[in-house]
Amino acid sequence: MVNRAVLAHRLFTGISRRHLACLIKELAVSWQAGLEGRRHAVRGGARKRAAGAGARHQLVFVDRLVATLIHLRHDLPHSVLGLLFGVDRSTITRAIAEVRTLLAERGCAVPDRPGLRLRLRLRLRLRLRLRLRLRLRTLTNVFAYAQAEGIELRLDATEIQVRRPPAGRGGRRAFVSGKKKQNTMKATVIADWRGRTLWTDALRPGRMHDATAARNEGIAICFQHFPDVEVLLDDGYLGLSRDHRGQAITPPRKPRPGALPGRVEQWERDRHGHSSDRITVEHALADHKRWKQLTRWTHRRDRLPDTYRAIVGLVSDRTINA
């Protein structure tokens, strides 16, 4: 067994010790509640022994969290982590599955705001009151936050290579990306003007178009209910720009051949300015890809969405006050 204090170092977990302490305080209660719920289901009723009685965990919650962070950061095999923590591989597998789900449910941190209470008037003349408890979990939360704070959003999609589905399985072609010519899954991410991640969706098969993936998340409804929110997009979202003019902003179109030199120069300046404003979402995507599991996914595809959301939540914590 390796010294547990060494394994909790930032080089292994990807986060500071202070951040780790906050995670322990935030997730320990939820993990314990889930554990008691599973035990209650197995027993079929209330516990008959006193709290604390019975066998002790070989891997306490702090070690489970550290093992999960190391797995997300460096993609170490479960057997290697079991050797480091002195437990069986199956124990590590169960621990990572439990903690990864808790991390994925956290959402993204609200920049510079410990808490926020929003009252917004919708088109249907209803009042919507949202309580953003430190985290942004849905696309509606992000648009409400952006309208209340007057923030211009940046949206983009990224693709992660995954294993090819077995031959003969239905829906196999859905993961073949027309852009990368590989089997991928696509994530849609929203960031602010400083590159701080605010939201990511449930991942989609790589063959799906970027604009279609955003529509499936309900972005059209958010544009209708939050008319003051502007989102900077790239050329892959021209359909959204056509349907929501003034809100979904894409780069200016290139002048036709034979246009005046002054018109061409103005187009180049406008396009460069749009790219400079939108580049922060590219920086946010680069922060996510620094975690090795997102460089190329080699595990089961149904576990990638939770993994991506867990990493995005951790990255947003680090950049909350950037």
pLDDT, tens digit (0-9, with 9 covering 90-100), for 70-126: 999 999 999 999 999 999 999 999 999 999 999 999 999 888 654 444 444 444 334
Paired strand residues for 183: 176
Please tell me the number of Cα atoms within 13 Å of 160 on its side-chain side: 28
Instruction: Write out pLDDT tens, residues 30-76.
Output: 998 988 888 878 888 887 777 666 667 788 999 999 999 999 999 99
Taking the CA atoms of 277, 281, 287 and 290 in sequence, report the sign of the dihedral they define.
negative
User: What does the alpha-carbon distance between residue 101 and residue 97 come to, in Å, rounded to a whole number?
Assistant: 6
Q: Answer left, alpha or beta for residue 42, where phi above 0 means left and psi between -120 and 50 means alpha.
A: alpha
Indicate the range of 152-161, 164-173, 182-191 predicted with least confidence: 164-173
Alpha carbon distance 158, 232 (integer Å): 16
pLDDT tens per residue, range 282-312 = 999 999 999 999 999 999 999 999 999 999 9
Residue pLDDT, tens place only, 210-265: 999 999 999 999 999 999 999 999 999 999 999 999 999 999 998 888 889 899 99
